[in-house]
Chain A
Amino acid sequence: MDRRLRIGKILIRRFKAAVSSVLLMSLILAGCSTGSTEEGEPKDQAGASSDIGSTYPLKTSEGFTSWEALNNNAVTFYSNLAETPFGKALAEKTGVNVKYVHPNDQQTKEQFNLMIASDELPDTIEYDWTGRSAGSYPGGPEKAIKDGVILELNDLIDKYAPNLKKKLEADKELDKMVKTDSGKYYVFPMIRNPSGLVFRGPIIRKDWLDDLNLPVPTTIAEWETTLKAFKDQKGAKAPLSVTYTGGNFEIRDAFIGAYHTSNSFYIDDEGKVKYGPVDPQYKDFLALFRKWFAEGLFDKDFALTDGKALDNKILTGQTGATVSLLSGGLGKWMDAMKKQDPKFKLVGAPYPTVKKGEVPFTGQRDFKYNPGPSKAITTAAKNPELVAKWLDYAYSDEGAMLFNFGIEGESYSMDNGTPVYTDLIKNNEKYSLQQMVSQYSKPNGPYEADERRNWNTFPEQDEAVKIWSNTDAEKHTLPAFLTPTDEESKELGKILTDVSNYKEEMFVKFIVGKEPMENYDAYVTQIKKLGIDRAVEIYQNALDRYNER
């Protein structure tokens, strides 16, 4: 009896110990998951500048957290950037072990919102802070700094980012783009190479054109003939199809530009900001697509066609022309059909115009500064100096090679001073160039893209870039990094939500024929009533300030 009781007591004590140790463990784990830097030694917080040094690898045992999207292609191989050959090399070269947190590819926007709302910020965030594009930080960088989300980087760049500083000083145009009106830097920017600025445009089935003895169409009239031939002689059910998801019509300014207007805000020939969808000539575009929709030249399932549906339509010969991306569209489809149908061939077509020989009014041409894959340092960063130094590595000569081409001897080798991808990357039997490149380098991110870098797998891609570049887009595109003031962005946000809601609904209805064209004037009046003029004014002011930077 007595013995059994004692055993019982011992068991209870052991049980208690086990429970408390489990509790302790979970506490420790919880601590780890909320902030990775918490366990860093306290001495790092104050005046660690001299210890880290300014040469790479940095002398530090500290790590920090970076929130950034993992490249679409890399996801198929690794779940975390730290595990990729690139991530390992970067950790080794910089001496900093960074913990990467990746949002889910489909929900980047939502997860960013959640992160900001939940108040659990990582040390650095790679995201669009301009407040201009859908999902970017509302109110823009000035607001983000004021809200206490991210840090103003002027001092940090000045002191700890000599490589970036050099680049900004050498390129005044770039410098103008990456700071706010009041002269604040807010990110370590992605700088595009000059040939990486154009990557989207009309794409058409060249093998069909050849079969039908037709030239690549350039004018609206020629396009109509071509699409008709696709429909009648090639059996295409949706000769022209473009994705439309979540209110974004990926045609962007193609076809619309033919009428000297745009699908959103643009700058006219006099340098004045305008909103395309209320222009009188915008009606001509709507009428054209309404006609094409009714005649079956434009996709009958328009507004329901997402990326997957479009892939299907193009690969099964239901669609012969679209507007899409250079590698995410043209390259992808050519690659998919390489084996199945060797005749399958896509080429880039020029942005259509009304008059033959005219230079297209607008098209796609991005700016040197790419806000999306740019990194900001948050207010939660324990050691901003270390983060800044780590980020600055990407702008050094050595870092640029790693970010652009990967690891010498593995992913590239030097040939007369020019980096060339190895066979592992270029001629891999199993995987495409893009898939390989994504493991060894960082396709998009805060660094300067190298002019010598070329991921095109097909000569048609190089050709397409040349064709699509021939537009006046540079003159007519509103920069993505204008910074309206806090008050203005609030007002702007409200107006734009109302306007785009209304505009998208009417846009689709006009095209599918649900709304009579005679109502166009009423539609314009309604948009004016929703305050579009004020929005235009705000952008005009922002543009004026930008030009004065």
Chain B
Amino acid sequence: MAKHPPQEQHAALLTTSRSRNQIRWGILKDIRRNPWLYIMLTPVLLYFTIFHYYPMYGALIAFKDFSPRLGIMGSPWVGWEHFESFFEGIYFWRIIKNTLLISFYELVFGFPAPLILALLLNEVRKTAFKRTVQTFTYMPHFISLVVVCGMIKEFTMSDGIINDLLALLGWERVSLLLESQYFRTIFVSSGIWQNVGWGTIIYLAALAGIDQEQYEAARMDGAGRWKQMLHVTLPGIMPTIIILFILEMGRVMNVGGEKIILLYNPSTYETADVISSYVYRVGLQEFDYSFSSAVGLFNSAINFMLVICSNWLSRKMNNTGLW
């Protein structure tokens, strides 16, 4: 998922209060004034229309008994049948619970991690050290997910490196990926390891934008490093944090299915099976496209609601939001 730079969202914010007519005139005038900006925007708009909006009509198959040979329009309608069979399935509550729990842990542990690292890096004065740390923490982001999961598997095997360490401490060797109670920990912590460095980039950019005079003023008032961070740095990057948080909320139901599928096995389904992995197993492997898109649609609807809610909340509390 591409994260939008905050500037774009701020620009969008400005327009909300005006009436429609004004906007229409405004846009026309603006086009005349900045034609090149709009020309540059066109490919992006086209991209979204062709690859994001146009395919949406395919969501129709969630209400149809889709057969590839009949096509989307030709397949017979079945109404809510696929949704019903999903809701009535024996695993419905389990996968909803797992999805929410894993998302929750990712939000609680994964979301602050890059923020904390960025704040720490911000305090480092030795550029060479800072750069080295940054480079090292970026690296995992560029390793293919399949390779990362292969490594995780190797490390957690009964004769893997983690078990070697545990055995030194006198623990019994167990194949960690076979134990359902460890799955979430493994999943979330490896996710942090993989993305923490990458996530700091956007915060570091926001940090660079803070007015240095504010720090000076704070120092004049006698604020130490800690107080400066609390009262200058954090408020300075708050809008960025909130926007990233809202975007993150929109992904709550979309736990990375690929990584789950690469790591889970029947003995950890209990804690690992999420909506996307279930859809993959039941829907796609069995050619049941209609069922899969019904679940996908349900998923998107919830995500949509979550984004709206968190945006509303943040506007209420902080006066910032995506729109």
Contacts and interface: CB of A to CB of B under 8 A. Distances in A.
Given A134-B285, A498-B90, A512-B267, A304 B69 contact: no
A521 B286 CA distance: 28
A501 B278 CA distance: 10
A58 interface: no
Interface stretch (B105-113, B135-143, B171-179): B171-179
Interface stretch (A268-276, A404-412, A502-510): A502-510
Main secondary structure of the interface of B (DSSP, over half): loop
Contact of B266 (A497, A498, A507): A507
Nearest to A138: B287
A447 interface: no
A304 B265 contact: yes
A233 interface: no
A241 to B, nearest CB: 12
A237 B286 contact: no
Contacts of B55: none
A300 B158 contact: yes
B314 interface: no
A301 B155 CA distance: 12
B286 A149 contact: no
Contact of A304 (B70, B157, B289): B157
Interface residues of A, number: 35
Interface residues of B, number: 32
A301 B267 contact: no
Contacts of B267: 303, 505, 508-509, 512, 514
A307 interface: no
Interface string B262-291: 000111011000000000011011111100
Contacts of B175: 300-302, 304
B159 interface: yes
A383 B79 CA distance: 40
B153 interface: yes
B265 A119 contact: no
Contacts of B174: 300
B178 A301 contact: yes
A121 to B, nearest CB: 9
A117 interface: yes
A514 B180 CA distance: 9
A207 interface: no
A316 B287 CA distance: 39
Interface in B39-94: 67-71, 85, 89-91
Contacts of A117: 68, 289
Nearest to B71: A119
Find the residue from A149, A304, A498 having the highest chain B CB count within 10 A: A304
Interface in B200-254: none
B254 to A, nearest CB: 21
A505 B267 CA distance: 6
A53 interface: no
B178 A303 contact: yes
A148 B265 contact: no
10 contacts: A300-B173, A300-B175, A301-B157, A303-B267, A304-B157, A494-B85, A501-B91, A505-B267, A507-B266, A514-B180
